[in-house]
Amino acid sequence: DAGVTQSPTHLIKTRGQHVTLRCSPISGHKSVSWYQQVLGQGPQFIFQYYEKEERGRGNFPDRFSARQFPNYSSELNVNALLLGDSALYLCASSRGWETQYFGPGTRLLVL
């Protein structure tokens, strides 16, 4: 089976712009989580969605939002980009409990 896929792989934006990142979970997985990994740090939890409903939210500003679609894929949206939003954004999927499997990430650079 295919693993978690994310698009795009790389992205360059300027301050104030908006960005949408996409994630497709492993087949059969109903939960998607998003993490932000700043250079030199461990990933930080942003959101979790299960069966299209938000199950958890990390300590991120309202500029960050997400949604999950009926096919369990997900989008992460970030408005009014700041330089500090430059990071690797990781998506992880699971069956809804225990173990998360990560995708390759989207590397976002904000100039």
Partner 1 sequence: AQSVTQLDSQVPVFEEAPVELRCNYSSSVSVYLFWYVQYPNQGLQLLLKYLSGSTLVKGINGFEAEFNKSQTSFHLRKPSVHISDTAEYFCAVSAQGGSEKLVFGKGTKLTVNP
Give contact residues for partner 1 (rule: CB under 8 A).
4, 6, 31, 33, 35, 40-45, 48, 55-56, 58, 90, 92, 94, 96-105
Q: Min. distance of Cβ 71 from partner 1 in angstroms?
A: 20
Q: Min. distance of Cβ 78 from partner 1 in angstroms?
A: 19
Per the DSSP assignment, residues forming a β-bridge with 47 are: 34, 57
What does the alpha-carbon distance between residue 85 and residue 96 come to, in Å, rounded to a whole number? 28
Nearer to partner 1, 18 or 100 (CB): 100
Q: Give strand ranges (E) for 4-111.
A: 5-7, 10-13, 19-24, 31-37, 44-50, 53-57, 64-68, 74-78, 87-94, 101-102, 106-110
Nearer to partner 1, 17 or 27 (CB): 27
Nearer to partner 1, 16 or 96 (CB): 96
Q: Min. distance of Cβ 89 from partner 1 in angstroms?
A: 10
Q: Min. distance of Cβ 83 from partner 1 in angstroms?
A: 21
At CB < 8 A and 24+ separation, what contacts does 45-48 make? 46/76, 47/76
